[in-house]
């Protein structure tokens, strides 16, 4: 074994990658944290608020960045992607492509934390995503919420917002029969935020059931219904029809068996969570297994191990909320630290 | 069963934009019952002692309040067939007092002069309350006989009545509570408020 300090490469600077970088750095090993965006924070950075405690995600990111600042062993490289990787015995020779050119680094373990993407809802012709400007996906709407909260200049005509859950998810015909796990929670959160910003507006959440499995999650959804007066309508919307600048939604109230219609200003689609393009690329580069839908899979040795010296954390493994991503980041860090300790 | 005229046409599209939430707010204010707590689980209807003869089971009553269909609610047969056994509220995970809602709707229907779907139910209520006012408790045998005569169904439940009588379950003479003046006071304080 060489005497140099062992280095971990962490790909992705979202909540999972940040947590892993901090923990490995605190254990005294050096870390190279690579992020393709110009700033750290991942998808969490784009969010307006969090469930179940309505906290500002930026505060969490700022705190994590402070922790990183105190760790000289962690080298952060933003605007950088991993171009190539070559296994050399117990280490990898990895080519990093930054804006100013590429360089090669020698690393002893890799944590992939490349996050998720949203399913492209334009394949649902009936919802008109990509055709009607006021049909948004949840991340686009989150961005709007962030703007409205920060700037205080809100659209005055926003009377009705409708949320569709399970867009892509739980849909065999679109190839994603799984439940994306976090949509129930963020749809409730977004609907609650709309009611906070526009108290006179009406919010409808179309659902088949709501899945709130987590600490304080059920109470969170109930509080949105009971205290913020968001109306949950049971049924999967069938069609969105543009009507005089607004959007007419057709569905069935499956509790009464009545066909229903409602006119909304904005329709928000809670799209299925799918693996990001980066996740697929990394899986190929490092020659690791992916499951049926492209999420990284465990090699059964440990839940976060995808291959020899390759680990993963966060939504590249499966849809997970930011808290879960942090858990996984810390767990993957523990794997790496244990591995480095063994080798020494 | 008398056919209930439904104002909601269950095949016609309902516009959620036009949903009137005032009944829901009224029930929250007047009865202290918040139906937003409803989890739509249907445990109320599953346990309802009279669900088999209801046109709208307890869960659907709550749902009708939610969609603001007051007309259907005030005309529905369930106003007559609910016996206020409280099994629904007893089992409800959110403790939604559905009998209180139904009572409220009965009163409202009565005030608006809406004829109950089953006249005999109203008659039964009146006869029963007469006995309570007179004796402080119900004289079952007498009530049964009076009800049967008034409705012209002279031998209704006669066989069961005979069996119950010989098992000592029916008392031939009405009994009174000791302090009937207390019951009278009750009736004096709430004179007009009649169930039914």
- Residues B20 and B107 both lie in one domain: yes
Task: Report residue A137 as tokens.
Answer: 């996906």
Q: Is the pLDDT of residue B104 over 90?
A: yes
- Residues A179 and A71 both lie in one domain: no
How much is the pLDDT for B196?
41
Q: Using a CB-CB distance cutoff of 8 angstroms, which residues of chain B are in contact with residue A235?
A: none
Q: Using a CB-CB distance cutoff of 8 angstroms, which residues of chain A are in contact with residue B60?
A: 255-256
- Residues A29 and A68 both lie in one domain: yes
**Of the residues A249, A273, A297, which one is the last residue of a structural domain?**
A273
- Asked whether residue B25 is assigned to any structural domain, the reply reads yes
Output the domain CATH number for residue A164. 3.50.50.60
Q: How close is the nearest chain B Cα to the Cα of A132, in Å? A: 21
Q: Using a CB-CB distance cutoff of 8 angstroms, which residues of chain B are in contact with residue A253?
A: 14, 67
- Residues A105 and A149 both lie in one domain: no
Kindly state the helix (H) or strand (E) to which residue B30 belongs, with its residue range. helix B22-31
Domain count, chain B: 2
- Residues B176 and B150 both lie in one domain: yes
Q: Is the pLDDT of residue B149 over 70?
A: yes
- Asked whether residue B103 is assigned to any structural domain, the reply reads yes
Kindly state the helix (H) or strand (E) to which residue B15 belongs, with its residue range. strand B14-15
Q: Is the pLDDT of residue A147 over 50?
A: yes
Q: How close is the nearest chain B Cα to the Cα of A109, in Å? A: 48
- Asked whether residue A182 is assigned to any structural domain, the reply reads yes
- Residue of chain B with shortest Cα separation from A210: B39
> Which of B9, B16, B57 to substitute to test the interface with A, most A CBs within 10 Å?
B16
- Asked whether residue B4 is assigned to any structural domain, the reply reads no
CA distance A50 to A52: 6
Q: Output the 3-class SS for chain A.
A: CCCCCCEEEEECCCHHHHHHHHHHHHCCCEEEEECCCCCCCHHHHHCCCCCCCCCCHHHHHHHHHHHHHCCCCEEEECCCEEEEEEEECCEEEEEEEECCEEEEEEECEEEECCCEEECCHHHCCCCCECCECCEEEHHHHHHHHHHHHHHCCCCCCCCEEEEEEEECCCEHHHCECCCCCCHHHHHHHHHHHHHHHCCCCEEEEEECCCCCCCCCHHHHHHHHHHCCCCEEEECCCCEEEEECCEEEEEEEECCCCEEEEEEECEEEEEECEEECHHHHHHHHHCCCCECCCCCECCCCCCCCEEECCEEECHHHCCCCCHHHHHHHHHHHHHHHHHHHHHHC
Q: How close is the nearest chain B Cα to the Cα of A331, in Å? A: 36
Phi, then psi, of A187 in degrees rounded to 5: -65, -40
Domain that holds residue B174: 119-189
- Residues A233 and A281 both lie in one domain: no
> Which of A238, A256, A260 to substitute to test the interface with B, most B CBs within 10 Å?
A256
- Residues A232 and A126 both lie in one domain: yes
Interchain proximity A253–B14, CB inside 8 Å: yes
**Of the residues B71, B89, B111, which one is the last residue of a structural domain?**
B111
How much is the pLDDT for B10?
67
Interchain proximity B40–A234, CB inside 8 Å: yes
- Asked whether residue A123 is assigned to any structural domain, the reply reads yes
Q: How do residues B167-187 score in pLDDT, each as one tens digit?
A: 988 888 888 899 998 888 888
Interchain proximity B15–A262, CB inside 8 Å: yes
- Residues B86 and B163 both lie in one domain: no
- Residues A123 and A269 both lie in one domain: yes
Band of pLDDT at residue A300, cut at 50, 70 and 90: confident
Instruction: Tell me the three state secondary structure of residue B14.
Output: strand
- Residues B72 and B144 both lie in one domain: no
Q: Using a CB-CB distance cutoff of 8 angstroms, which residues of chain B are in contact with residue A162?
A: none
- Asked whether residue B8 is assigned to any structural domain, the reply reads no
Please say whether the beta carbons of A116 and A319 come within 8 A: yes
- Residues B106 and B168 both lie in one domain: no
Band of pLDDT at residue B83, cut at 50, 70 and 90: very high
Domain count, chain A: 2
Task: Report residue A270 as tokens.
Answer: 């809670």
How much is the pLDDT for A153?
73
Please say whether the beta carbons of B26 and B107 come within 8 A: no
Q: Comparing A91-95, A108-112, B81-85, B185-189, which segment has the lowest mean pLDDT?
A: B185-189
Q: Is the pLDDT of residue A127 over 90?
A: yes
Backbone Cα Rg of chain B: 19
- Residues A336 and A247 both lie in one domain: no
- Residues A142 and A212 both lie in one domain: yes
Q: Using a CB-CB distance cutoff of 8 angstroms, which residues of chain B are in contact with residue A204?
A: 16
Q: List the single residue in A222, A225, A258 with the smallest CB-CB distance to B14.
A: A258
Taking residues A257-284, report their average pLDDT. 95
- Residues A162 and A229 both lie in one domain: yes
- Residues A223 and A284 both lie in one domain: no
- Residues B149 and B103 both lie in one domain: no
Taking residues A190-218, report their average pLDDT. 96
Interchain proximity B17–A160, CB inside 8 Å: yes
Q: How close is the nearest chain B Cα to the Cα of A260, in Å? A: 5
Maximum C-alpha span of chain B: 61
- Asked whether residue B26 is assigned to any structural domain, the reply reads yes
Band of pLDDT at residue B67, cut at 50, 70 and 90: confident
Q: How do residues A209-252 score in pLDDT, each as one tens digit?
A: 999 999 999 999 999 999 999 999 999 999 999 999 999 999 99
Domain that holds residue A323: 7-115+276-343
Q: Using a CB-CB distance cutoff of 8 angstroms, which residues of chain B are in contact with residue A233?
A: 16
- Asked whether residue A1 is assigned to any structural domain, the reply reads no
Please say whether the beta carbons of A255 and A234 come within 8 A: yes
**Of the residues B94, B111, B128, which one is the last residue of a structural domain?**
B111
Interface residues from chain A to B (CB-CB < 8 Å): 160, 204, 222, 225-226, 229, 231, 233-234, 250, 253, 255-263
């Amino acid at each position: 074994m060489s005497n140099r300090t062992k280095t971990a490469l962490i790909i992705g600077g979202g909540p999972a990658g940040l947590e892993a970088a901090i923990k490995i750095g605190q254990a005294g090993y050096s870390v190279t944290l690579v992020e393709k965006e110009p700033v750290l924070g991942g998808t969490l950075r784009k969010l307006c608020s969090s469930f179940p405690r309505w906290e500002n995600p930026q505060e969490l990111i700022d705190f994590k960045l402070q922790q990183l600042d105190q760790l000289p062993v962690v080298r952060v490289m933003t605007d950088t992607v991993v171009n190539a990787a070559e296994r050399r015995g117990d280490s990898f020779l990895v080519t990093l492509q930054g804006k100013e050119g590429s360089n090669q680094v020698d690393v002893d373990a890799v944590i992939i934390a490349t996050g998720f993407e949203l399913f492209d809802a334009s394949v649902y012709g009936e919802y008109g995503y990509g055709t009607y400007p006021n049909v948004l996906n949840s991340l686009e709407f989150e961005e709007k919420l962030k703007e409205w909260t920060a700037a205080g200049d809100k659209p005055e005509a926003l009377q009705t917002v409708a949320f569709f859950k399970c867009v892509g998810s739980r849909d065999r015909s679109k190839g994603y029969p799984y439940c994306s796990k976090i949509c129930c929670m963020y749809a409730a959160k977004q609907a609650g935020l709309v009611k906070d910003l526009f108290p006179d507006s009406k919010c409808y959440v179309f659902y088949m059931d709501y899945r709130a499995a987590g600490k304080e999650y059920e109470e969170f959804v109930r509080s949105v219904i009971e205290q913020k007066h968001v109306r949950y309508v049971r049924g999967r919307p069938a069609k969105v029809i543009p009507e005089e600048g607004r959007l007419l939604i057709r569905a069935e109230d499956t509790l009464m068996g009545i066909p229903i219609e409602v006119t909304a200003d904005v329709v928000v689609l809670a799209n299925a969570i799918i693996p990001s393009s980066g996740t697929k690329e990394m899986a190929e580069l490092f020659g690791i297994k992916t499951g049926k839908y492209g999420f990284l899979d465990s090699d059964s040795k440990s839940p976060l191990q995808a291959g020899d010296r390759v680990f993963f954390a966060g939504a590249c493994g499966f849809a997970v909320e930011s808290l879960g991503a942090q858990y996984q980041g810390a767990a993957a860090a523990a794997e790496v630290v244990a591995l480095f300790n063994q080798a020494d | 069963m008398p056919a209930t005229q439904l104002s909601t046409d269950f095949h016609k599209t309902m516009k959620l934009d036009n949903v009137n939430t005032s009944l829901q707010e009224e029930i929250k204010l007047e009865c202290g019952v918040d139906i937003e707590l409803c989890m739509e689980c249907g445990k109320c209807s599953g346990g309802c002692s009279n669900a088999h003869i209801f046109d709208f089971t307890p869960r659907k009553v709550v749902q009708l309040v939610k969609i603001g269909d007051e007309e259907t609610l005030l005309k529905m047969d369930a106003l007559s067939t609910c016996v206020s056994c409280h099994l629904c509220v007893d089992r409800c995970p959110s403790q939604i007092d559905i009998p209180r809602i139904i009572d409220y709707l009965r009163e409202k229907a009565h005030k608006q002069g809406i004829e109950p779907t089953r006249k005999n139910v109203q008659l039964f209520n009146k006869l029963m309350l007469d006995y309570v006012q007179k004796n402080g408790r119900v004289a079952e045998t007498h009530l049964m006989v009076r009800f049967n005569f008034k409705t012209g169904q002279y031998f209704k439940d006669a066989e069961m009545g005979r069996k119950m009588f010989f098992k000592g379950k029916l008392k031939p003479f009405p009994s009174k509570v000791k302090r009937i003046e207390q019951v009278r006071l009750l009736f004096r304080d709430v004179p007009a408020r009649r169930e039914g």
